[in-house]
Amino acid sequence: NFFSYCRVNGKPVLGVCLGMQLMVAEFARSVLKWENATSEEFDNNKSEVEGQKKCHVVIYMPEISRSHLGGTMRLGSRPTFVKNRNSLASRLYGKVSVINERHRHRYEVNPKFVKTIEEAGLYFVGQDETGQRMEILELDSSQHRFYFGTQFHPEFKSRPGKPSPPFLGLILAASKLALP
């Protein structure tokens, strides 16, 4: 798949919202060898595939109603706390410890798998104020120049002459220019 190709071949890639979630599922399948890693969003309420239990690395947010879809997303500007001051996320956003970006989603990375995924090399460097919601992921820069995902939507705050830091980073990496 696309994210596997980019990860393995060192191609710069930015995953936004669903893209970040797909990055997590691809990593779980390819690196951790969890063949049935998936998102509940694609599940159709089936807990097994060909007799094998699914591994939901992306889940429906527990506080959101499944029956009333109008106005039930996680919406609006929310703080993201950068865990690692040496991370690409920290460098892109100017070494700040808190980033405020806009959200629009119902699904999130399953917190019960975060530790195992990070131990395998995919790092969740940005989290919400509780530490339970994964907001930014990246591979270590020694492994990949720009493999970066956000749960939030950085495009909502991008403006002509003032591009969003993740999009600017993607352009710089794809152009083989220096990253912050």
* Annotation says 138 is catalytic: no
* Annotation says 63 is catalytic: no
Encode 93-130: b = buried (16+ Cβ within 10 Å), e = exposed.
beeeeebebebebbbbbbeebbeebeeeebbbbbbbee
Tokens 């106005």: give the residue.
71
Distance between CA atoms of residues 133 and 151, nearest Å:
9
In 3D, which of 32, 41, 38 has the Cα closest to residue 50? 38
Catalytic residue among 17, 56, 138, 144: 17
Instruction: Report, as residue numbers or ranges, the catalytic residues.
Output: 17, 153, 155
